[in-house]
């Protein structure tokens, strides 16, 4: 198995229900979404009542996955990243 290198300040978070991805200001660099049997969505907001930064719609399929990369700068959440999940099994986030 090869060496895995990470950048200082980069961490991960997994959620399985609507909630905060992190409790501090952060940048979401990428997401790995596992869908549910029905079509769904992931809505990313700057805190639970803040502005919507992205809405990702997912197709129906309990085993379908989507990998979303927001580039090297990521999406900037000035308060904290919050995700509203609808018909989503889980979302793995890379944050910095």
Residue 8 — very low, low, confident or very high, per pLDDT cuts 50/70/90? Answer: confident
The answer to whether residue 1 scores a pLDDT higher than 60 is no
Residue 9 — very low, low, confident or very high, per pLDDT cuts 50/70/90? Answer: confident
The fraction of the chain above a pLDDT of 70, given in percent, is 93
Q: What is the pLDDT of residue 4?
A: 45
This prediction's pTM = 0.89
Q: What is the pLDDT of residue 44?
A: 98
- Total residues belonging to the chain: 96
CB atoms within 10 A of CB 88: 23
Q: Give the span between the Cα atoms of 39 and 45, in whole angstroms.
A: 20
């Amino acid at each position: 198995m090869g060496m895995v290198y990470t950048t200082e300040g980069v961490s991960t978070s997994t959620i399985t229900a609507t909630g905060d991805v992190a409790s501090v200001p952060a940048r979401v660099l990428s997401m790995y979404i596992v869908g549910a049997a029905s079509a769904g969505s992931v809505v990313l907001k700057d805190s639970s009542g803040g502005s919507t930064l992205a809405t990702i719609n997912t197709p129906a399929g309990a085993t379908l996955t989507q990998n979303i990369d927001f580039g090297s700068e990521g999406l900037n959440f000035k308060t904290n990243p919050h995700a509203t999940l609808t018909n989503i099994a889980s979302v793995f986030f890379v944050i910095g």
